[in-house]
């Protein structure tokens, strides 16, 4: 084999590996994309912001796909997404503060407005921890690892979130 042949073969192998990686990534992550957008919408309060952050999450996950340990795709994706969402909120808050704190019109759910209002009143960290715990069944230790906070902090968030919802929704609501 000549040197030119070897170079061509190496390029072909690299391209095949790249295509294989992309397919593996898409197959693993695609089923979690729409649920991620929905979750981010609940955390951010705005489906359009959620789609922006979900797209950033998807691309960020793709770039770090070779470092993913392969255990729980959803947890890995949600970890990236929620961290981006928190930063997104921080940026938006600074921007809103700079222009006089004009809040955009948030999404509201007409089917269960009390629940949506009660959930919206929680801070994003508490809301995220509560949803990960109640909806996804992650333990407080798992959530602590995902959000990079101590387990006690998660326990406090989940407890505070449940208490707030109980208080706001109360009987007959």
Partner 1 sequence: MDHDDDLSGDDLHGRLAALEARVPVDPTPPTLPSRRRRGRFAVPIALAPVFVLAVVATAAAGAVVVSNLAEGNPGIQNPGQPLAGAHMECMSPPEADAFLAEHGFADVDWQVETGTTVAPDGGKGSSTTVHQATPPEHGYVIPGSVHDNGKVIMVADQRVGATGVGDCFGSPMP
Residues of this chain that interact with partner 1 (CB under 8 A) are 15, 18, 21-22, 25-26, 29-30, 33-35, 37-39, 41-42, 47, 50-51, 55, 58-59, 62, 83, 86-87, 89-90, 93, 97, 107, 109, 111-112, 115-116, 119, 123-125, 131, 134-135, 147-150, 153, 162, 165-166, 169-173
Helices then strands, counting H and E runs in the chain, come out as 7, 0
Q: How far apart are CA 23 and CA 147, in angstroms?
A: 28
User: Closest distance between partner 1 and the C-beta of residue 23, in Å?
Assistant: 10
Taking the complex as a whole, how short is the minimal distance between the CB of residue 69 and partner 1, in angstroms? 19
Q: Judging by beta carbons within 10 Å of its beta carbon (0-12, 13-18, 19+), is residue 85 exposed, middle or buried?
A: buried
Minimum CB distance to partner 1 smaller for 1 or for 87:
87
In which residue are the tokens 């707030």 written? 164
> What are the angstrom distances between the C-alpha of 109 and each of 41, 98, 101?
12, 29, 23
Return the number of the residue (1 or 143) whose C-beta is nearest partner 1.
Answer: 143
């Amino acid at each position: 084999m000549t040197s030119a042949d070897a170079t061509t073969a190496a390029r072909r192998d690299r391209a095949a590996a790249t295509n294989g990686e992309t397919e593996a990534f898409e197959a693993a992550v695609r089923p979690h994309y729409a649920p991620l957008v929905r979750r981010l919408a609940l955390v951010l309060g705005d489906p359009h912001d959620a789609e922006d952050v979900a797209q950033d999450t998807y691309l960020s996950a793709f770039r770090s796909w070779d470092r993913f340990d392969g255990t729980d795709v959803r947890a890995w994706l949600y970890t990236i997404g929620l961290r981006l969402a928190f930063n997104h909120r921080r940026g938006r808050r600074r921007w809103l503060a700079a222009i006089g704190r004009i809040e955009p019109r948030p999404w509201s759910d007409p089917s269960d407005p009390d629940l949506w209002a009660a959930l919206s009143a929680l801070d994003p960290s508490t809301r995220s921890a509560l949803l990960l715990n109640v909806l996804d069944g992650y333990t407080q230790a798992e959530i602590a690892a995902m959000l990079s906070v101590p387990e006690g902090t998660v326990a406090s968030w989940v407890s505070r979130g449940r208490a707030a919802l109980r208080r706001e929704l109360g009987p007959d609501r």
